[in-house]
Structure 1
Amino acid sequence: MEVLVTGGTGRLGQELVPQLRDAGHQVRSMSRRGAGPGGVRGDLATGRDLAHAVAGAEVVVHAASDPRGNPWEVDVAGTRRLVEAVDRSRPPHLVLVSIVGVDRVPLSYYRAKYAAEQVLLASGLPVTLVRITQFHGFVDELLATARRGPLLPVPMGWRAQPVDVADAAAHLVEVVAAAPSGGVVELGGPEEHSVADLARAWAAVRAPGARVIATPVPGRLGAALREGAAVPARGARGRRTWAEHLHG
């Protein structure tokens, strides 16, 4: 099929685009500059060139996001612009890459992702919302950033189920080939862990001698993540474990 990937140059997109091509799809990767093989220009923040980028696509995998900038402009308003650019006479299957817990975790970025989901659900277009847990590489980076010399402070009691980015891409290839679900599907890693256990395994490989210190985090955010808001309740599971990522 003809597949357009927004955010094709991101962490997930770099895995997804080649996997889609290996599966036999014709893939275009959208970015503001349209660089690289199969690149097309399209700007979610302004709407520029979106209609041209979307034209002819049978599936649009919407993986673009702006967690460090203004997600309300790019993720929410950008998703609305993407919907408006679609040819309603031949609507594509819109696959949104979202995050497990966007409806439960009280973070501004998660609220923006949840609002983007609602834009698609209200559009009347054929959609599938794919909520994915945190990628192994992202957790790796967070722990490296959190380390303070010989100490590695982490939140006490938080639960997580990180997934390998290649497994996430493989799952999206399956979603692209399937009929639209019209709602939410979830993907998590093969194992649930406490964040403290993730950190201990990380320290053993990345920072031998570092001491993991689990500290309570008060408030609604801490309560939500202790109660498993970031852990999938159902759906598919990846295969590569956290230990395999660390030793890979």
Structure 2
Amino acid sequence: MTTILVTGGTGTLGRLVVERLRAGGHEVRVLSRSARPYAVDLRKGGAGLDTAVAGVDTVVHCASSPRGGDEEAARHLIAAARRAGVRHLVYISIVGIDRVPLGYYRSKLAVERLVEESGLGWTVLRATQFHDLPAQLFQALAKPPVMLLPAGISDQPIEVAEVAERLAELAAGAPAGRVADMGGPEVRTLDSLARAYLKATGRRRPVVSLPLPGKAARAFRNGGHLTPERAVGKGTFEEYLAVRFGDGSGR
């Protein structure tokens, strides 16, 4: 079996990718800012990164931050991968980054281009948002007595474990370029998802939808972040909520 490095290997997605790759018999190295022995800040690079990549056949790049630094991190990783003779670089991206004008999305698109132009064998998978993202959004929005939502926006959340399974499969195979997107099983209005969240957590809040201005909000209303033709996910938002919150009491 191959030696595979997973960046962001302690995160929500990365740790599940690590589990599946190890279950498949691969030797897996976990890289993050705090995971020993490969504790590396990709934004800074350095000798620790070269050590982490040495002897690696495939890199699965899951590390990412909406706070910035993704492009710099990718440049350091790609340079180290070239020096080490890495055969395959797998990158997880987001559906709609070329259609929704958000700063974080622009950064993810720039990293895609760096991967494609890296000179390495590469694979890029785009997925819709994981279930925990709308759950985190609703947790914050449910704190006031009235839950205010952006009007006219839908979402297509997907189970993170399904994306991890696909990434592990891609990492074990040959470079495939841009592969088919992965979307959750349902395109749902934010209103319906929010009401499911409130029910699962045992909260009662009136839900009010308000229009948001701006190009990004318009792109979201137009469904730029959705892929209904690739609704390949199986796990629903309600199933995620049942696992996380149980009997609806919020515990």
Normalization by structure 2: what TM-score?
0.90
Amino acid at match of 2:63: A
C-alpha distance in structure 1 between counterparts of 2:144 and 2:40, whole Å: 43
CA apart distance, 1:113: 0.8
C-alpha deviations, 1:141-190, integer Å up to 9, x for none?
11111124331111111121101111111111111123212225311111
User: How far did 1:235 drift?
Assistant: 4.4
The list of structure 1 runs, each at least 4 consecutive aligned residues, that deviate by more than 6 angstroms after superposition, is none
CA separation in 2, counterparts of 1:228 and 1:91?
A: 37
Confirm or deny that 1:213 pairs with 2:208.
yes
Distance 2:154 2:87 in 1: 36
Q: Tell me which of 75, 83, 88 is aligned to 1:80.
A: 75
Q: Where in structure 2 are the equivalents of 1:56-71 lying within 5 Å?
A: 56-67=55-66, 69=67, 71=68
Name the amino acid aligned to 1:26. E
Name 2:249's counterpart in structure 1.
Answer: none
Matches within 5 A, 1:227-246: 227-232=222-227, 234-235=229-230, 237-246=232-241
Equivalent residue for 2:248?
none
Q: Which runs of 5+ in 1 are unaligned?
A: none
**What's the counterpart of residue 2 of structure 1?**
3
Q: Does residue 224 in structure 1 map to residue 219 in structure 2?
A: yes
Residue in structure 2 matching 1:183, options 178, 194, 200: 178
Task: Indicate if the aligned counterparts of 1:19 and 1:170 stay in contact, CA closer than 8 A.
Answer: yes
Compared CA separation, residues 223 and 101, structure 1 to 2 (3 A) = same
Partner AA of 1:55 in structure 2: A
What is the match of residue 25 of structure 1?
A: 26
Q: Percent identity?
A: 41
Distance (whole Å) between structure 1 residues aligned to residue 117 and residue 232 of structure 2: 28
Contact persistence 2:50–2:84 (CA under 8 A): no
Structure 1 residues 34 and 113: CA distance shift in structure 2, 3 A: same
Which residue type is aligned with residue 172 of structure 1? Answer: L
Give me the CA root mean square deviation: 1.7
Tell me by how many angstroms 1:22 deviates: 0.9
Give the length in aligned residue pairs. 241
Q: TM-score normalized by structure 1?
A: 0.91
Aligned to 1:53, the other structure's residue is in SS state helix
Which one is further off, 106-115 or 209-218? 209-218
| Separation in structure 2 between the aligned mates of residue 97 and residue 135 of structure 1, nearest angstrom | 12
Distance, in Å, in 2 between the alignment partners of 1:204 and 1:32 is 37
Alignment of 1:115-126 (within 5 A): 115-126=110-121
Residue 20 of structure 1 aligns with an amino acid whose one-letter code is: L
The SS at the match of 2:38 is: strand
